[in-house]
Amino acid sequence: MPKITVLPHAELCPNGAELLCPAGKTICDVLLEKHIDIEHACEKSCACTTCHVIVRNGYNCLNEASEEEEDMLDKAWGLESESRLSCQAVVTDIDLVVEIPKYTINLARENN
Instruction: For the sheet with 17-20, list strands across it.
Output: 17-20, 3-6, 96-99, 52-57, 83-85
Tens-digit pLDDT profile for residues 5-20? 999 999 999 999 999 9
Tally of CA atoms within 13 A in the half-sphere of 107 that contains its CB: 5
Tell whether the torsion through CA atoms of 29, 33, 38 and 42 is positive or negative.
positive
Predicted pLDDT at 104:
77
CATH number at residue 31: 3.10.20.30
pLDDT at residue 48 tops 50: yes
Checking if the pLDDT of 62 tops 60, the result is: yes
Q: Which residues form the domain of 28?
A: 3-110
- Kindly state the average pLDDT of the residues 34-62: 96
Domain count, the chain: 1
Q: Give the per-residue pLDDT at 13.
A: 95
Judged against a pLDDT cut of 90, whether residue 97 lies above it is answered with yes
C-alpha closest to that of 53 among 16, 109, 13, 97: 97
- pLDDT greater than 90 at residue 107: no
pLDDT of residue 66: 97
Instruction: Quote the mean pLDDT of the chain.
Output: 92
Indicate the range of 19-23, 73-77, 102-106 predicted with least confidence: 102-106
